[in-house]
Amino acid sequence: MDNKTSHLEDLKIIRKVMEESSRFLTLSGLSGIFAGIFALTGAVIAYFAILKNGIIHNDEYSRSLSIKEINLLHVQLLTDGLIVLLLAIGASLFFSIRKAKKTGVKIWTPVSKRMLINLLIPLVAGGVFIIALFINNQTRMIVPSLLLFYGLALVNAGKFTFSEIFYLGLLEIFTGLLSAFFLNLGIYFWAFGFGILHIIYGLIMFGKYER
């Protein structure tokens, strides 16, 4: 009898170690929910405050602006986006660390490092590419590029964490590609890709693994 329970315990340990050493599982669904909320808030601010109730559907409106006004607009949108990004990163770090503490798992492990590297390669490439777009005044392509590179990063990192991340990545890629065909609707795609998708993903993950 004793043998049997110890065999079962052995199998449990094997499974646990295999999973923990090959996948980064301290990502919390709450991170997704908060990232989504920040993104939506950012989009609302951009729409009502920066883009004056959305009348600036890029082209038509921006033609009537002076270069100085356009530059100001770009800087405001950039600041808005960067604040959302920082808040989202902050939230995911906070909730990951909290989840790691709760479940007694280390957060900085070989697998979390590998996941981060895989995430960062497409992300940094995308970041540099977007800086180039910005400098060259190709601002309309920024939203499609953001979504596309972010999606690629998630697909790449998905091998080392929850498989749901992989599917979220596919959806972001799809949203990004679609938005490349509707450049005037960038802000809606941004709100959908970074806002709605993150919230849905976060709710699913929270319900599935953390309740």
Q: Which is nearer to other proteins, 16 or 52 (CB)?
A: 16
**Cα distance between residue 103 and residue 149, in whole Å:** 32
Among 17-25, 29-37, 64-72, 93-101, the segment contacting other proteins (CB under 8 A): 17-25
Candidate list 7, 52, 102, 208; residue touching other proteins; CB under 8 A: 7
Residue 166 buriedness (CB in 10 A; 0-12 / 13-18 / 19+): middle
Give me the least distance between CB of 104 and other proteins, in Å please.
Answer: 9
Residue 161 φ then ψ, to 5°: -150, -160
SS3 109: coil
Instruction: Tell me the per-residue interface mask from 93 to 132 with other proteins, x by CB under 8 A, - otherwise.
Output: -------------x-xxxx---------------------
Q: Which is nearer to other proteins, 7 or 208 (CB)?
A: 7
- Measuring CA to CA, which residue among 183, 71, 73 is closest to residue 135? 71
Record the tokens describing residue 5, joined without a space: 């329970």
The residue whose two tokens read 């920024």 is: 142
Binding site for other proteins (CB under 8 A): 3-4, 7-8, 10-11, 13-14, 17-18, 20-22, 106, 108-111
